[in-house]
Structure 1
Amino acid sequence: MDPADSAAGTVPAGRPAGTPLPPGDFGVVLATLRARQGWSVREFARRANVSEGQICNLESGLRNPTPAVAAACDAAFGTGGELVELAGAGRRAARVEDVVEAGPVVAGYERVLWDLKDIGRSTGPRFVTASMKSITHILTDAGPHAVGEQRAEIWLLASRFAEYTGWMAQEAGNPAEALRWTNLAVRWGAQGGDETVAAYALVRKAFIAQHRGDTDAAIGFADRAAGHPAATPVIRAHAARRAAQGHARRGDAVACREALERFSSHAAEVIGHRTPHWGPRVENGNPRLIEASCMLSLRRFELAADLFAAEHRPAAPADSNSQARFAVRQATALAGAGRLDGACQIVEATLPVIKRIDSATVRAELGRFVEQARTRRASTGQLALIEASADLASG
C-alpha cells in the first residue's frame, strides 16, 4: 500500500506545532491520539485507509506497524512524520525486560490516564477502552521487571487503569466485564501495597448491583465498603451515597436521610485532601443533587423537581456524562410531578448528548423518564419524543 494513496481522501487531524506525542509505544500512542480526536476504530480506519483489524492489532500490541501503515496513520493524524519515526526506531514497550527506570513510565501513563478519563467522561467508553486495555497490558508486563518502590508504583497504576476500565465496561452495558476488571484492580492494587482499592471495589459492586435492580445487594456492598478497615473518608462518602440511593429505592426515607448525613460528614473530611484516592472526586459533587436523586427514588417528585431546579443549573457537574444523568433525573421528577412540558424540554435538549456518550447508566435513567412520562397525558409531539427516548433507552 502506498502511503500517499493510504491518506487519499482524508483530512489530517493535525496538532499544534511543538506538541509532543503522548508517551508509550506505537500502539498506545495511536490509541491515545485516536481517543483525543474522538474517533472510533472504524472512523480512524476509514481516514487512514487501513483495515479495522489492523488498527485493533496495532493498538493492542499484537502487531508491529509496517512503514506504509505507520505513514498512513501519520498522515491521518497530521503528526508530521513522528509516527513513522516512532515505528522505525522500534520504540515499542513489548520487551518489558528493557524497562530499567520505571519512573518515566509511571509519570507518563499517569498523565495519559487523566486524559483518557476526561475523554471517557465526555464521549463514553467506545473511544477509550482500547487504549485502557493496551496500556494495562504494558504495565502488567512491566511490573515484574521493576524493583523496589517502582514495582509497587507500576502495579498501583495498573490497578487504577483496571478500575477505570471496569467503569467503562459498565458504561458499555457489560456488568460481568466490569466486575472482572474491578477484581483485577483489587489484585493489582494489593501487589502495589494499596488495600484501599479493595474497599472502593465494594462501592463499585454496589453501583453494579443497583443498576441490575438488586437493591439489597447494593446496600450490603455499600455497608461493607464503609466498614472496610482500609476505607478512607472518600470511600466512606461514596459508600454512604450508594447506601442512600439504595434505601431510597427501597422506600426507607429515614435510613436514606441517615446515609445522606453520613455522606455530607465524610465529604467534609475530604475537602483539601490531596492524597490519591479512588473514584470520582467527592469534593466536586453536589450534596443537594444527590439528595434530589434520592427524593426522586422515594417518589417525592415535587420535592425532587424543586431541588433539581434550585441546584442543577448553577452547580451542574462539569462532564457530559454527569450533566446528562442529572438532567434526565430532573426531567423524570418533573414528569412524575405532572409537569410534562418542562420534562420534555429538558429531554429534547439532552438527547443529542445521550446519543454521543452512549452510556448504559444514562440510558437506564432515560428509561425511568419514559416510565413516568407514559403515565401522563401528552401531546402528539411529546408522544413522539417519549417514544424516541424509549428507543434510545433500549439501546
Structure 2
Amino acid sequence: MPPGDFGVVLATLRARRGWSVRELARRANVSDGQICNLESGLRNPTPAVAAACDAAFGAGGELAELAAPRRRGVPTEEVVETGPVVTGYERVLRELKDIGRSTGPGFVTASLKSITRILTDAGSLAVGEERAEIWLLASKFAEYTGWMAQEAGNPAEALRWTNTAVRWGARGGDETVAAYALVRKAFIAQHRGDSGAAIGFADQAAAHPAADPVIRAQAARRAAQAHARRGDAEACGEALARFRSHTAEVVGGRTPHWGPRVENGNPRLIEASCMLSLCRFELAADLFAAELCAVGLSASEPSAADPFAAERALLPAVPTDSNSRARFAVRQATALAGVGRLDDACRIIEATLPVIRRIDSATVRAELGAFVEQARTRRAGPARHALIDASAALAFG
C-alpha cells in the first residue's frame, strides 16, 4: 500500500491501475462525485463505501482499515479540512510521473485528467492561501498532462494543456510556469520539424523575467538541438555552452520546480545528441559510448579511452527512467549506424525495442524512425533487415 490517508491512497491505487474516476466508481458501485470527494479529502468514507473501494482494488481490507474513524479522528461523512489535499496530491503526482516514465501515457492520462477536475473544483471553493496552493498544484497536473499528450502523439492537446497550466499557475501566483511553457512549446515545435519556431520559443523562455536557472538550462538545451537540426554548428555550440553554465548552477540535487529532472540533462549526452543531428556521427558515437558504457547502459564499447572521467563526477547522472534510457539508446544506435557499425547498432535496438513497445512514446518512436532512415543507408544481412523492418513498423506504423 502507498503512504497517505484514505483519499491519497485511493487516488494512488487508481493511478497505478490507469483507471478513471468513472471506472473506479463503476467497479465500487458508487457515484463519480463520491470518489472525487473522497480523493480530494472533502469527505471521509462510510464503512460501506470504504469496503466497496477496498474490494474494487482487491486490497484485502487494508484500504478499508484506513477509513476507520478512530484512525481519522473525525466522524464519517463529515466534511474534513481541505489542507491535506495539496500534500496528498503532490505525492500522487510524483507517483504518476514515475509510472509515466516507466509505462507511458496510456497508464496515467485518465488519472491526470480526473485529478485536475477534482483540484479545479476544490480550488473554486477554497479561499486565501489554500486556494492559491490548490491552483498551483492543478497547474502542475496540467503541465504534466500536456507532456503525456505529446508522448501520446497529440501536439494540439499538448499545447492546450500547456496553456491551461499557465492560466492556472497565474491563479496560484506563480509566473515561472509561463516561462517553462515556452520551453515546452519549443519542444513541441522541434518534434514537428519547425526548428525556427523552436529556437524562437527557447530564446523567449531564456529571456522571460520569471525564468530561473533550471528553465534557462532547459531553454538552452532546446535551442542547441534546434540549431543542430538546422546544421548551424556555431550557434549550437554557443547554446551548449549556455546549457552547461546553467546546469552547473543547479547540479547538487535541487529538484526543478517545472520540467524534467535535472539528472536527465547530462551535458555530454545532450552534446552527443547535437553532434548526431549535425551528422558528426563518429564524435556522437564516442560521446554516447563514454557516458552510457560508464554505467552499463550501452551495448557497445567506447571506441577510445574515456577522456571525460574527471569531468563526470561534476555532471548530472545518466538518467535511469525507461523513457530517457530508451531515447538515448536509440540515439547511440543511430550514431553507430552512421559510422558503419550496424551490428553494434542493431544489438542496441534489439535490446531496446521491448522497452519502446511498453512505454509507447511518440517522441521515442520519432527517434527510432531516425535510426531506421540511417540504418537503411547501410548494407545488412537478412537478420538485420528483419530488425530494421520491425523498427520501422514500430516507428511509423
Q: TM exceeds 0.5? A: yes
1:328 aligned to 2:311? no
In the TM superposition, residue 133 of structure 1 has moved relative to its aligned partner by 1.2
* 1:287-343 CA distance string (max 9 Å, x none): 000000000000111110111011123253110000000000000001111110000
- In 2, Cα distance between the equivalents of 1:186 and 1:206? 15
1:361 aligned to 2:331? no
Task: Tell me the secondary structure at the aligned position of residue 117 of structure 2.
Answer: helix
- In 2, Cα distance between the equivalents of 1:211 and 1:205? 10
- In 2, Cα distance between the equivalents of 1:313 and 1:275? 26
| Other-structure match for 2:183 | 203
* 1:62-94 CA distance string (max 9 Å, x none): 3657999976763463312355678999x9xxx
| Other-structure match for 1:62 | 32
Which residue, out of 285, 300, 307, partners 2:265?
285
- In 1, Cα distance between the equivalents of 2:386 and 2:363? 23
Q: Structure 1: which amino acid aligns with 2:348?
A: I
Greater mean deviation of Cα atoms: 197-206 or 146-155: 146-155
- In 1, Cα distance between the equivalents of 2:377 and 2:344? 15
1:391 aligned to 2:393? yes
Greater mean deviation of Cα atoms: 321-330 or 136-145: 136-145
| Other-structure match for 1:338 | 340
* 1:177-202 CA distance string (max 9 Å, x none): 11111011000000011000000000
Is the CA contact (8 Å cut-off) linking 1:99 and 1:142 kept in structure 2? no
| Other-structure match for 1:94 | none
Q: Structure 2: which amino acid aligns with 1:286?
A: N
Task: Tell me the secondary structure at the aligned position of residue 342 of structure 1.
Answer: helix
Q: Structure 1: which amino acid aligns with 2:393?
A: D
Q: Where in structure 2 are there 5+ consecutive unaligned residues?
A: 36-45, 73-77, 296-317
Greater mean deviation of Cα atoms: 218-227 or 146-155: 146-155
Distance change >3 Å, CA 69–CA 217, structure 1 → 2: same
| Other-structure match for 1:214 | 194
1:231 aligned to 2:201? no
Is the CA contact (8 Å cut-off) linking 2:14 and 2:24 kept in structure 1? no
Q: Structure 2: which amino acid aligns with 1:154?
A: I
1:144 aligned to 2:139? no
- In 2, Cα distance between the equivalents of 1:240 and 1:205? 13
Is the CA contact (8 Å cut-off) linking 2:6 and 2:63 kept in structure 1? no
1:158 aligned to 2:138? yes
1:123 aligned to 2:103? yes
Please, what TM-score do these two structures have when normalized by structure 1? 0.82
Q: Quick one: percent identity of the two aligned structures?
A: 78
Greater mean deviation of Cα atoms: 63-72 or 77-86: 63-72
* 1:349-373 CA distance string (max 9 Å, x none): 0000001111010000000000000
In the TM superposition, residue 24 of structure 1 has moved relative to its aligned partner by 2.7
* 1:223-279 CA distance string (max 9 Å, x none): 110111111111000000000000000000000000000000111111247475111
Q: Where in structure 1 are there 5+ consecutive unaligned residues?
A: 1-14, 45-51, 92-96
Task: Tell me the secondary structure at the aligned position of residue 293 of structure 2.
Answer: coil
- In 2, Cα distance between the equivalents of 1:24 and 1:222? 39
1:240 aligned to 2:201? no
Q: Structure 2: which amino acid aligns with 1:321?
A: N
- In 1, Cα distance between the equivalents of 2:255 and 2:364? 30
Is the CA contact (8 Å cut-off) linking 1:99 and 1:145 kept in structure 2? no
Please, what TM-score do these two structures have when normalized by structure 2? 0.82
Task: Tell me the secondary structure at the aligned position of residue 313 of structure 1.
Answer: helix
Is the CA contact (8 Å cut-off) linking 1:34 and 1:127 kept in structure 2? no
